[in-house]
Amino acid sequence: MRVLWVTNDLPPRAGGIQQFVANLLDRVHPHETVVIGPAGGMEAIAHDAAQPYRTVRAPGAVLPTRPTRRLIVDVARAHDAQVIVLGATWPLGELAPGLDRALGVPIVALSHGLEAGLARPGAGHLIRRATRGLTAVTAITAWTEQRLAPYVRADRLERLPPGVDVERFTPEVDGRGQREAWGVPPDATLLGCISRLVPRKGQDALVEVWPELRRRHPDAWLALVGEGPLEPRLRRAVGRLGSDGRVVMPGRVPWPELPASYAALDVFAMPCRTRLAGTDVEGLGIVYLEAQACGVPVVAGRSGGAPEAVHDGVTGSVVDGRDSDELLAALDRWLSDPAGRRVAGEAGTAWTRRRWAWTAIAERFASLLDEVTTPGRTAGRRSPGDGPRG
Ligand code: GDD
C-alpha cells in the first residue's frame, strides 16, 4: 500500500510523537512509504539516509499552511498515495478538508496527549475543526479516547497506543558503561528520569524531595537525562544542593543509547502532573513502557492517561506529582527494597511484552489502513470533495 506520512515530529529529535511515528514507519509498509517531515540538519540527513522509506524534508516546520498543503498534494500525486497519515491531529488535521478536495484519499491522524488536553470546553472547537476532514483519528489511551469522543468529527475514533520495542528495551541490556559515562559509582542506587525537561514532567519535584531521599539513602544518586526549556532552572536548583548533591544531568542521549540509559537505573520516576487548566496533560508516557521493558520499576504521576502505562503496585507506583509527601514515600519505598525492585522489574518486563509490544500495535494500524482504503469497509466513507463533516 502506498502511504504518505505528514509529520512535524521525526527523529533525530527526541520525544514521544517522534518515537511513535518512527516505530510505525519502520513496521507498516516501510518500502512503499514517503514521509514529509520538518527541516533538519546534518543529523537528520544521516537519520533519513538509513531508513527504508524516503523522507522529504520541508523548508521549515510542517504546519497547516498553504505551502505545506501544496507540498503534500505534489508529493501525494508523485507517489500516487492511497492514504495519508498525519503524525498528529492538531494542528495538522486542519489541512484535511483541502487535501480531501484535491486528492480524495482517506486521511488518518494520530492523536497524543496534546489533543486530549484541548478536548475541553473553551478549546474543543480546535479539535472539531482539526477532525472534520479526517477518515479516522486514533487515541492512545482509554482516558484520551474518552476526552476526545465528544469533539471528534472524523468517521472513526480508534484506540492505537504507542508501544515499546521489546527487542531493544530488555533487562539484558548492560547499563554499566552509561553509569560510568555519567560519573555515577557502579554500586550506587540510581534513581533517574529520562524525559524532555518541561514543567509537566515533574523533574523539579524530584529535585525538591532529593535532599530528604539522599539523607535516608546515603548511597543513592539521581540522574536527570534529557534537554528542554526547564534545564537552566533545574541546573540552578541542583547547584543549590551543593557539591555533594549526587545529581547528574547528562543532557540528551543519542537514540541508540536509550536502552542502556534505562538499564543504568534502579528506579525510574517521572512524576508528571496536569497543568494549565487541564490543557497540558500526559497522554500516556512511552518512557514508562521503556523503563518497565528494561526491568526497572517506575513511579508515575497521576496525569491524564499516564496511570494506564503502569500496573500500579505491581510494576511500580502511581502518585500525585504535586504531593511531595506521597512522592517521597513511593521513592523511599522503592529505593529501600532491592528484592521488591527485582520482582517489580520482572513483572514490568513480562507486562510490557504481553501488553505493549509493537508487533500487535503495528498490525492493528496496518488493519486500520486496509479498512480505510478498502471501499465499503469504512462506515460513512465519503467521495472526494464531499466537503467537511460536522
Ligand atoms: N534519544 C532520546 N534522548 N530520547 C529521549 C530523551 C533523550 O534525551 N529524552 C526522552 N526521550 C524519549 C523517550 O525515551 C521516549 O521514547 C520519548 O522521548 C518520550 O515519550 P513520552 O514519554 O511518551 O513523552 P512525550 O511528552 O514526548 O510524548 C507525547 O506523545 C506520546 C505519544 O503519543 C505525550 O503526549 C505522551 O504522553 C505520549 O505518550
- Domain shared by 362 and 351, yes or no: no
Atom of ligand 1 nearest to the CA of 225: 8
Amino acid identity, position 300: A
Helix (H) or strand (E) holding 109: strand 107-110
- State how far the Cα of 19 lies from the Cα of 358, in Å rounded to an integer: 12
Q: From the CB of 282, is ligand 1 less than 6 Å away?
A: yes
CA-wise closest residue to 260 among 332, 200, 184? 184
CA distance 33 to 143: 31
Answer whether 131's CB lies under 8 Å from 151's CB. Answer: yes
pLDDT per position as a tens digit, 288-303: 999 999 999 999 999 9
Q: How confident is the model at residue 243 (pLDDT cuts 50, 70, 90)?
A: confident
Give pLDDT tens digits for 10-60.
Answer: 999 989 999 999 999 999 999 999 999 999 999 999 999 999 999 999 999
Torsion of CA 375, 380, 386, 390, to 10 degrees: -160
Mean pLDDT of all residues in 337-352: 98
Looking at the structure, do residues 366 and 343 belong to the same domain, yes or no?
A: no
- Domain residues for the domain of 32 are 3-163+357-373
Residue 152 lies in a domain: yes
CATH number at residue 216: 3.40.50.2000
Ligand 1 pocket residue status of 196, Cβ below 6 Å: yes
Note whether residue 387 is domain-resident: no
Q: Do residues 76 and 87 both lie within one domain? A: yes
Q: In this structure, are 106 and 191 located in the same domain? A: no
Q: Are residues 180 and 135 in the same domain?
A: no
Q: Domain total for the chain?
A: 2
Residue 377: predicted pLDDT: 57
Give residue 20 CA to ligand 1 midpoint distance, Å. Answer: 9
218 Cα: distance to centroid of ligand 1 (angstroms): 31
More confident residue, 286 or 255: 286
Residue 386: the pLDDT is 39
Question: Is any ligand 1 atom within 6 A of the Cβ of residue 145?
Answer: no
In this prediction, residue 225 has a pLDDT band, given cuts at 50, 70 and 90, of very high
Q: Which candidate, 331, 182, 351, places its Cα nearest to that of 266?
A: 331
Same structural domain for residues 102 and 231? no
* Residue-level pLDDT at 233: 97
Identify the pLDDT of residue 147. Answer: 97
234 part of a folded domain: yes
Instruction: Quote the percentage of the chain above a pLDDT of 90.
Output: 94
Please give the order of strands across the beta sheet that includes 316-319.
247-251, 220-225, 189-194, 267-270, 298-301, 316-319
Q: Are 143 and 304 in contact (CB under 8 A)?
A: yes
Q: Are strands 136-139 and 156-159 parallel, antiparallel or unpaired?
A: parallel
CA-to-CA separations, 30 to 27, 73, 256, 371, in angstroms, rounded:
6, 20, 20, 18
Whether 389 is covered by a domain: the verdict is no
What mean pLDDT comes out for the span 304-330? 97
CA neighbor of 105 nearest in space, from 77, 126, 128: 77
- 197 and 340 co-located in one domain: yes
**Would 382 be classed as within a structural domain?**
no
Same domain? 157 vs 187: no
**What mean pLDDT is predicted for residues 61-74?**
98
Q: What is the pLDDT of residue 379?
A: 47
What grid cell was written down for 224?
A: 536527570
Could you tell me the end-to-end alpha-carbon distance of the chain, in angstroms, rounded to an integer?
29
pLDDT at 242: 86
Contacts of 370 (CB under 8 A, 6+ apart): 1, 377
Mean pLDDT of 345-361: 97
Average pLDDT, whole number, for the chain? 95
Q: Given pLDDT bands bounded at 50, 70 and 90, which one contains residue 206? A: very high
Residue 378 belongs to a domain: no
| CB-ligand 1 contact for 293 (6 Å cutoff) | no
192 found inside a domain: yes
pLDDT in tens, 171-199: 999 999 999 999 999 999 999 999 999 99
pLDDT at residue 194 in the model: 98
Span from the CA of 375 to the centroid of ligand 1 (angstroms): 36
Query: Could you tell me if 201 and 52 lie in one domain?
Result: no
- Tell whether 83 and 184 lie within a shared domain: no
**Domain identity same for 9 and 104:** yes
> Is the pLDDT at 143 greater than 90, yes or no?
yes
pLDDT digit string, tens, across residues 373-388: 997 655 443 333 333 3
Q: Is the confidence at residue 390, as pLDDT, over 80? A: no
Residue with the three cell numbers 543509547 = 257
* Dihedral pair phi/psi, residue 223, rounded to 5°: -115, 125
Same domain, 147 and 262: no
pLDDT at position 375: 75
Q: What is the pTM of this model?
A: 0.94
